[in-house]
């Protein structure tokens, strides 16, 4: 056992550092023990936000120090986005999204609202379920109130960023079914950015393939099955605490 441990440790390689302060390590298995796909996925789930950001930045080096690049983060992606924006030396801002769920199923979205009150409706869901317009409007009104409260709390009165003619790097903490990220991208598209790049630490392979038609590029540290991506995401309380801590850093200009 001790020899096997020494062999594994001797085969560790450092991930190249990209940008100031982004460092990480990944393990390479010994020749005598080839890990299974499941084991590789479990190891990938342990990547911390800074290491994930380092891997993303390595694929985005051509966007560093550019005045037309803006990093936008969804609420759950703020830790990764802080590191990405810092490494690229790009401005960072928030984009908030509220799902418009069908009244009888909180897990099924029929649309979404994004920063600025931009509404995106999923016509296929609405038509398949025959959802009346008055129901859609009622849900929209309720979620819009919540969105405005969050914008006041998180943005501190700052106006939404102008993304027109900019390359937007949209960061989230993972891409499973992609509904929240898709809503944000669709809302951004209406504002005529030059390019939309989605950057996530983890992405479901199938969703990634489907999503490529809606954005210009997808960058991920690793891809895997959606069940493994879901396992990686922490509980709501933990994510909210991480978000508020990172947000305080953002407001102090630590990006």
Over residues 87-131, the pLDDT tens digits come to 999 999 999 999 898 898 887 888 888 887 788 888 888 888 899
Q: For residues 127 and 83, what is the distance between their CA atoms, to the nearest angstrom?
A: 41
Its CATH class, for the domain covering 97-155, is alpha beta
- Give the alpha-carbon dihedral of 86, 47, 195, 205, to 10 degrees: 180
Q: Is 171 exposed, middle or buried (0-12, 13-18, 19+ CB in 10 A)?
A: buried
Residue 177: predicted pLDDT? 67
Q: What is the mean pLDDT of each run of 10 residues along the chain (255 residues)?
A: 46 36 34 46 58 90 95 90 94 91 85 83 86 95 93 82 93 80 87 94 82 89 61 46 54 55
The residues spanned by each domain of the chain are 50-94+160-251, 97-155
Its CATH class, for the domain covering 50-94+160-251, is alpha beta
Residue 58: predicted pLDDT? 94
Nearest to 171 by CA among 246, 119, 109: 246
Q: For residues 187 and 53, what is the distance between their CA atoms, to the nearest angstrom?
A: 24
Residue 166: predicted pLDDT? 96
- Backbone dihedral angles phi then psi of residue 88, each to the nearest 5 degrees: -85, -10
Rama region for 103: left / alpha / beta (φ>0; ψ in -120 to 50; rest): alpha
pTM, rounded to two decimals: 0.68
Residue 215: predicted pLDDT? 92
Give the position of tokens 């030396």: 89
């Amino acid at each position: 056992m001790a020899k096997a441990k020494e062999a594994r440790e001797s085969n560790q390689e450092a991930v190249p550092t990209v940008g100031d302060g982004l460092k990480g390590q990944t393990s390479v298995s010994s020749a005598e023990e080839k890990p299974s796909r499941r084991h590789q996925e479990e190891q990938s789930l342990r990547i911390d936000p800074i290491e994930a950001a380092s891997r993303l930045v390595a694929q985005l080096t051509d966007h560093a120090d550019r005045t037309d690049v803006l990093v936008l983060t969804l609420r759950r992606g703020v830790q990764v986005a802080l590191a990405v924006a810092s490494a690229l030396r790009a401005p960072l801002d928030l984009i908030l999204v509220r799902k418009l769920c069908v009244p009888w199923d909180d897990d099924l979205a029929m649309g979404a609202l994004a920063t600025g009150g931009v509404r995106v409706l999923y016509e296929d869901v609405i038509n398949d379920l025959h959802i009346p317009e008055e129901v859609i409007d009622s849900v929209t009104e309720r979620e819009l109130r919540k969105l405005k409260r969050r914008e006041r709390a998180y943005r501190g009165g700052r106006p939404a960023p102008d993304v027109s003619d900019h390359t937007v790097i949209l960061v989230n903490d993972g891409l499973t079914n992609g509904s929240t990220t898709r809503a944000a991208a669709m809302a951004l598209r209406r504002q005529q950015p030059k390019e939309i790049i989605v950057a996530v630490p983890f992405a479901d392979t199938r969703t990634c393939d489907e999503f490529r038609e809606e954005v210009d590029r997808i960058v991920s540290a690793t891809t895997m099955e959606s069940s493994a991506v879901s396992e990686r995401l922490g509980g709501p309380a933990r994510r909210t605490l991480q978000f508020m801590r990172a947000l305080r850093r953002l407001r102090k200009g630590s990006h």
